Amino acid sequence: MPETLRPRVLVVGGGPGGYVAAIRAGQLGLDTVLVDGGRLGGTCLLRGCIPSKALIHAADRFADIADAASADTLGIAIAGTPRLDLARTIAWKNGIVDRLSGGVAGLLARAKVRVVEGWAIFTDAKSCTVATASGSVAITSEHVILATGSEPAPLPGLPFGGAVISSTEALSLPVLPQHLVIVGAGYIGLELGSAFRKLGAAVTIIEAAGRILPRYDDALTRPVRRWLTQAGVKLHLGAKIVGLDGDGRLAVETSAGPLALPADKILVTIGRRPLTEGWGLDAMALDRDGKFVKIDDQCRTAMRDVWAIGDLAGEPMLAHKAMAQGAMVAEIIAGQRRCFDPATVAAIVFTEPEIVVAGLLPSEAEAAGIDAAVSVFPFAANGRALTLDAGAGGGFVRVVSRRDDQRILGIQAVGRNIAELAGEFAHALAMGAVLADVAHTIHVHPTLAEAFGEAALLGLGHALHL
């Protein structure tokens, strides 16, 4: 007979959304079971956010050393050229992943969450069977939190396999490809493309749209495109993938004519799709919103006491959004009053330079019929940016606010090392800050965050350092 469990809360998926939901439910005294078919941590920890940022850091270090071998702008020079052992870099990255995955297991245990290792298949909205290494486990729960995550989307006509890889394989390559072709100039393609270029690979990027990072405006993306050009990354925009030719080259149609690009690896990064197959979603009678599960502002689905969070439930497909939703759902189940506000979710592109976007872009405010004011403070006028050799390149902090009451609607920035400002931006939006709130906050000197305060001052009409 299969083992039968009847917890108060069943969480399906051990990624950022799922494990946070389970931990918070356990903290609140709810009998909780988490089912996951692989290692704890999900895509972000195992195959996405964490390993990619580790690789980007290693690439930055390697590029800095390589620059010291060819120039001494800061008075620092080395003899010879650096050598890269990518296998050791990947091993270092894997060590970080292992440590964090083990930490998740410890946190779940401390919250008294039972973890069932196996693949859940639902027969109705509240019941599933899990095939584990020690036998079948039947689970029926009062509340079900679906956090199944997402997977790389394949390109029609160019399936994954052989030389065609996804970001998952790109983050575990034992040898640096000499020629890397990337299909897609979104954040994943540009982050990995920049990192591999810094490590020494020849990188070519193919994008169907007419610009990189098509969701963002030209002011934000221009500094990134400038770096790509200076670094020797080849860009083909407005291009169409035809497929692989008989010699294994990637056939591409461009405005200048057809191309046949040789490549050791072809990295497809055209986006991600929610993981909806193979676990019985159709048996749960949930409404869909396109490719996603439809939810309300509390992550409720069409089925009573069935919840969906994270990538399964729509854009933005970001780990911190999933975490926030997971904690919120656990608290609602425990009787607290909560709802989710996607306007406070900031996004970061870890390119060179980095981009942070929180709230409304100027174009989005205009499209919504809002009379908005826009103030921009350049990092060229920020002392800390200059000391970090980050004043050049067109970086800035931009604040979008209502013209009538000066309520801040959006904050964006592009520049080196500005990812850590994302928390301050999100906090200002979550607190409903007006320009004066930010302008009158004493920002520590010298820091990059001073540019945020100066942008708010500029919005009030009296910037001090511009």
DSSP string, 348-373: EE-SSSEEEEEE--HHHHHHTT--EE
Q: Give the catalytic positions in this structure.
A: 445
449-465 pLDDT tens trace: 999 999 999 999 998 99
Overall average pLDDT of the 404-427 stretch? 97
Residues 6+ apart with CB under 8 A from 444: 450
Distance CA 267, CA 189 (A): 8
356-370 pLDDT tens trace: 999 999 999 999 999
Write the class of the CATH domain 353-460: alpha beta
355 band by pLDDT with thresholds 50, 70 and 90: very high
pLDDT at residue 16, as a whole number? 96
Answer yes or no: is pLDDT of 72 > 80.
no
Helix (H) or strand (E) holding 260: strand 257-261
Overall average pLDDT of the 47-58 stretch? 96
Fold topology of 3-45+91-152+273-342: FAD/NAD(P)-binding domain (3.50.50)
Nearest 5°: the CA angle 89, 91, 95 is: 115
Q: Which two tokens stand for residue 29?
A: 């005294």
Cis-peptide, bond into residue 446, ω within 30° of zero: yes
Please state which of the ranges 65-79, 117-131, 191-205, 400-414 shows the lowest mean pLDDT: 65-79
Nearest 5°: the CA angle 226, 202, 225 is: 15
Place of tokens 């089925």: 303
Answer yes or no: is pLDDT of 246 > 90.
no
Q: What are phi and psi of 283, to 5 degrees?
A: -80, -5
pLDDT at residue 192, as a whole number? 98
pLDDT at residue 219, as a whole number? 97
78 band by pLDDT with thresholds 50, 70 and 90: confident
Q: What is the residue-averaged pLDDT of the chain?
A: 95
Q: Which two tokens stand for residue 110?
A: 């401390």
Answer yes or no: is pLDDT of 160 > 70.
yes
249-281 pLDDT tens trace: 999 999 889 999 999 999 999 999 999 999 999
96-110 pLDDT tens trace: 999 999 999 999 999
Answer yes or no: is pLDDT of 153 > 70.
yes
pLDDT at residue 157, as a whole number? 87
- Whether 372 and 366 have beta carbons less than 8 Å apart is answered as yes
Q: Where are the domains of the chain?
A: 3-45+91-152+273-342, 164-270, 353-460
pLDDT at residue 429, as a whole number? 96
pLDDT at residue 1, as a whole number? 62
Answer yes or no: is pLDDT of 438 > 90.
yes
DSSP state of 294: P
pLDDT at residue 403, as a whole number? 97
pLDDT at residue 261, as a whole number? 95
417 band by pLDDT with thresholds 50, 70 and 90: very high
pLDDT at residue 79, as a whole number? 84
- Whether 339 and 297 have beta carbons less than 8 Å apart is answered as yes
Please state which of the ranges 144-153, 367-376, 386-395, 426-435 shows the lowest mean pLDDT: 386-395
343 band by pLDDT with thresholds 50, 70 and 90: confident
Answer yes or no: is pLDDT of 190 > 70.
yes
Q: What are phi and psi of 78, to 5 degrees?
A: -130, 155
Overall average pLDDT of the 142-162 stretch? 95
pLDDT at residue 75, as a whole number? 87
Q: What are phi and psi of 430, to 5 degrees?
A: -65, -35
pTM over 0.75: yes
Q: Is there a common fold for 3-45+91-152+273-342 and 353-460?
A: no
Answer yes or no: is pLDDT of 81 > 90.
no
Q: Which two tokens stand for residue 450?
A: 């001073």
Distance CA 401, CA 373 (A): 5
Q: Kindly compute the dihedral angle of the four CA atoms of residues 28, 29, 33, 34, in this order, to the nearest 10 degrees.
A: 20
204-219 pLDDT tens trace: 999 999 999 999 999 9
- Whether 197 and 233 have beta carbons less than 8 Å apart is answered as yes
Name the more confident of 45 and 68.
Answer: 45
Q: Which two tokens stand for residue 411?
A: 């904050």
pLDDT at residue 126, as a whole number? 96
- Whether 11 and 21 have beta carbons less than 8 Å apart is answered as yes
CATH fourth-level superfamily of 164-270: FAD/NAD(P)-binding domain (3.50.50.60)
